[in-house]
Amino acid sequence: MDTCRIPANASKCSRNTMECFMVLSTQAQKITIGILCGLFGTMCVFENSLVLYLIFSSPGIRKKPSYLFIGSLALADILASIIFVCSFVNFHVFNEAGFSKEVFLLQLGGVNTSFSASLSSLLLTALDRYISISRPSEYKLLMTRKRAWTALGVLWVTCATIACLPLLGWNCCVLDSSCSELFPFVDDNYLSGWLCFTVVLLVCIIYAYAHVLWRARQHVAYMEKHQSQAGKQNTRMRMDMMLAKTLVMVLAVLVLCWSPVLVLMIYSVFTRLSNHLRKVFAFCSTLCLLNSMVNPIIYALRSKELFSSLRRVFSHFRRQLKAAEESPEAESTHKSSVIET
């Protein structure tokens, strides 16, 4: 029997209400969530920071609009990991509820902004590749750096505006409306609207990548029928095959990581959730963090240009270490240690 029921209206909005959303009841569950968040969050920050460094340290790479979108994706994933891990662990593991409704909604707005910007950056990346394969001769005219920066500006402003609506007054405490069973103080109608926005983003991403995948497979089939044409065309066929494999990975990871959370959110809009399902939702939420951790591997490190840049960075780092070991100071230190021995 549940000892803490989720309030259905704003008359019960208080700090005590937040305790009803702390669904992890055992120490083992809290430790597991803490380990998952710590591991995924640390790897996510490291990988995406490396991607940002590789992009903006290379003049040739950072001038290309496609890498601006990947940079936006990396930045969004860094913010998502930091804000999500700090707020999620603080709330579910340490059960900290000693802050105001406004502070909680501000944290939730930061999480929503970063995850929405991550998905939106994926959409821009999908549209960029859609244009590059459907209209290759016009790509450089259609996708300029100015348009890319404008699209990124619109993206971030839109995501931040939508995410901050509960803080600005669209919450069940102010409106005296039905509250969500998954998030404190969040209005059910707002959650439904955010879900629609997110589902539309996912559908557009899947459609764009499915079209690119279809065109890539079509080109591969064409090239296989004309094996007499070698050289550059065979190279293009290998690139299309690699693109096809990358897109399959993209769609699989995206669906696997986001579908459990979205399904439970949609289900919560129409019916009451048991404590067990709300615990499942807490664990499934870490899958979104996992998606942010996997994104740089799929989008960035499979890029030939970024991988070459990464190898140059490692080569430079190894040369610096070798030079430091062979420096006169290092030799004198080594000799003195031998004499003392």
Delimit the domains of the chain by residue range.
Answer: 24-307
pLDDT of residue 220: 65
pLDDT of residue 321: 79
DSSP 91-127: HHTS----S-HHHHHHHHHHHHHHHHHHHHHHHHHHH
Provide CB contacts within 8 A for 62, sequence distance 6+.
55, 56, 68, 71
pLDDT of residue 337: 46
Q: How far apart are CA 287 and CA 247, in angstroms?
A: 19
Over residues 156-206, the pLDDT tens digits come to 999 999 999 999 999 888 888 888 888 888 999 999 999 999 999 989 888
CATH architecture classification, 24-307: Up-down Bundle (1.20)
Give the largest Cα separation in the chain, rounded: 81
Q: Which regions of the chain are under pLDDT 50? A: 1-3, 5, 7-11, 15, 230-231, 237, 330, 334-335, 337-341
pLDDT of residue 106: 92
Closest by CA to 185, choosing from 175, 194, 195, is 175
Radius of gyration of the chain (CA): 24
Over residues 104-146, the pLDDT tens digits come to 899 999 999 999 999 999 899 888 888 888 788 888 888 899 9
pLDDT of residue 134: 79
